[in-house]
């Protein structure tokens, strides 16, 4: 009662019928999103990137691979050479803008399945281990420790040297390397939830572990895990770029943002835009995803949703106080 949720002091509704105000319907998610400008921007950003990844390669044809030795290392931000070179060109005269769009597809084709796979496997495993405790928890955590203690880059290098580097193996390796991240988070949260009273309550009805996990644990843990997943998205993209740089990730002529950063790095002194724009793309995608995730975390929680609708600013109240003091 002394701190935290300010509504605890005022949120009590009348106990008796009749006196109660009509229950406010929870606002629609979309309407909530429109109200939050930052989250809205992040959503638009992600939509644009996704649209590029899906439709871009068809629209651009071979623009991304067409070499033009008369237009080598053109600087960005000028329309002298046409729209295609608005972000400059690389050392072979290829349009950076077009390459960015095409690379989005490969980047997503690696990062999205890898993140999804590790997310699903790690979360389910972690919730199961955390809920049941005991040996299941111990064994799971030791496995996670082993995988994590092995540098994921090294693991990837070994595996990719043995098998031929392809998008599929890349996804598999990245997914396995990232499972422990979700496993650990899900286990910790689920073990904590297990001691919550409402889980106890479900046990008194005779509900089984599986149904408690589905009904009570998963919905509560999910927002945290989604936040972890968006952060991990960035990590996976960067790992992919490191592998591509080492020559065992995406193989040219395929393209990814990571590969573009890697290739542009040698020319950072003379043509910074080749490395910087794909880097920016990675950063902006990640930031957008993280912003949207933290917004969704609040918006999907009935107990927290009100925070999104609190009027901002204390200017008025402070002004009134000053006025009062002046009198």
Interface ranges with other proteins (CB under 8 A): 1-4, 6-17, 19-21, 23-24, 26, 196-198, 200-208, 211, 215-216, 219-220, 301-303, 306, 309-311, 314, 317-318, 320-321, 324-325
CB-wise, 78 or 304, nearer to other proteins? Answer: 304
Q: Please state the closest distance from residue 304 (CB atom) to other proteins, in A.
A: 9
Q: How far apart are CA 234 and CA 303, in angstroms?
A: 29
Q: How far apart are CA 200 and CA 153, in angstroms?
A: 42
CB-wise, 162 or 310, nearer to other proteins? Answer: 310
- Measured from the Cβ of residue 53, the count of other Cβ atoms closer than 10 Å reads 19
CB-wise, 117 or 207, nearer to other proteins? Answer: 207
Q: How far apart are CA 7 and CA 150, in angstroms?
A: 47
Q: Which tokens sit at 209? A: 């572990």
Q: Please state the closest distance from residue 140 (CB atom) to other proteins, in A.
A: 21
Q: Please state the closest distance from residue 307 (CB atom) to other proteins, in A.
A: 9
CB-wise, 204 or 270, nearer to other proteins? Answer: 204
User: Do residues 279 and 261 lie in contact, with contact meaning Cβ atoms separated by under 8 Å?
Assistant: yes
First to last CA, the chain: 34
Number of helical (H) and strand (E) elements in the chain, helices listed first: 13, 0
User: Do residues 325 and 51 lie in contact, with contact meaning Cβ atoms separated by under 8 Å?
Assistant: no
How many angstroms separate the Cα of 158 from the Cα of each of 180, 248, 253? 19, 10, 23
Residue 21: which residues within 8 A CB-CB, separation 6 or more? 13
Q: Which tokens sit at 183? A: 């496993």
CB-wise, 10 or 269, nearer to other proteins? Answer: 10
Q: Please state the closest distance from residue 35 (CB atom) to other proteins, in A.
A: 11
CB-wise, 17 or 79, nearer to other proteins? Answer: 17
Q: Please state the closest distance from residue 7 (CB atom) to other proteins, in A.
A: 6
**CA dihedral over 132, 134, 139, 141, signed as positive or negative:** positive
Instruction: Spell out a b/e string for 5-36, using b for 16 or more CB atoms within 10 Å of the CB, else e.
Output: eeeeeeeeeeeeeeeeeeeeeeeeeeebbeeb
Q: Please state the closest distance from residue 83 (CB atom) to other proteins, in A.
A: 46
CB-wise, 8 or 266, nearer to other proteins? Answer: 8
CB-wise, 12 or 80, nearer to other proteins? Answer: 12
Q: Please state the closest distance from residue 8 (CB atom) to other proteins, in A.
A: 8
Q: Please state the closest distance from residue 231 (CB atom) to other proteins, in A.
A: 23
Compute the chain's Rg from CA coordinates: 25
């Amino acid at each position: 009662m002394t701190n935290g949720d300010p509504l605890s002091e005022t949120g009590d509704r009348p106990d008796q019928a009749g006196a109660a105000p009509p229950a406010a319907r929870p606002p629609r998610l979309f309407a909530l999103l429109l109200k939050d400008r930052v989250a809205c921007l992040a959503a638009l950003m992600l939509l644009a990137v996704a649209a590029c990844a899906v439709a871009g390669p068809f629209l651009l044809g071979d623009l991304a691979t067409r070499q033009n030795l008369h237009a080598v290392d053109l600087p960005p931000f000028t329309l002298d050479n046409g729209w295609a070179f608005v972000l400059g060109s690389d050392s072979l005269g290829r349009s950076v803008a077009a390459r960015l769009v095409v690379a989005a597809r490969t980047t997503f084709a690696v990062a999205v399945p890898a993140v999804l796979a590790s997310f699903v496997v790690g979360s389910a495993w972690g919730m199961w281990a955390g809920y049941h405790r005991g040996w299941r928890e111990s064994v799971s955590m030791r496995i996670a420790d082993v995988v994590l203690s092995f540098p994921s880059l090294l693991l990837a290098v070994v595996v990719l040297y043995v098998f031929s580097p392809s998008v599929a193996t890349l996804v598999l390796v990245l997914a396995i390397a990232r499972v422990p991240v979700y496993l650990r988070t899900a286990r910790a949260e689920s073990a904590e939830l297990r001691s919550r009273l409402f889980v106890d309550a479900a046990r008194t009805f005779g509900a089984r572990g599986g149904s408690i996990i589905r009904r009570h644990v998963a919905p509560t843990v999910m927002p945290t895990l989604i936040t972890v997943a968006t952060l991990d998205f960035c990590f996976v993209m960067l790992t992919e770029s490191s592998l591509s740089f080492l020559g065992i990730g995406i193989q040219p002529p395929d393209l990814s943002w990571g590969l573009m950063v890697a290739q542009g790095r040698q020319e950072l002194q003379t043509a910074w835009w080749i490395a910087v724009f794909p880097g920016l793309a990675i950063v902006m995608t990640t930031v957008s995803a993280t912003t949207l995730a933290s917004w969704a975390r609040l918006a999907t929680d009935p107990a927290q949703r009100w925070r999104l609708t609190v009027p901002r600013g204390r200017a008025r109240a402070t002004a009134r106080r000053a006025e009062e003091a002046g009198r």
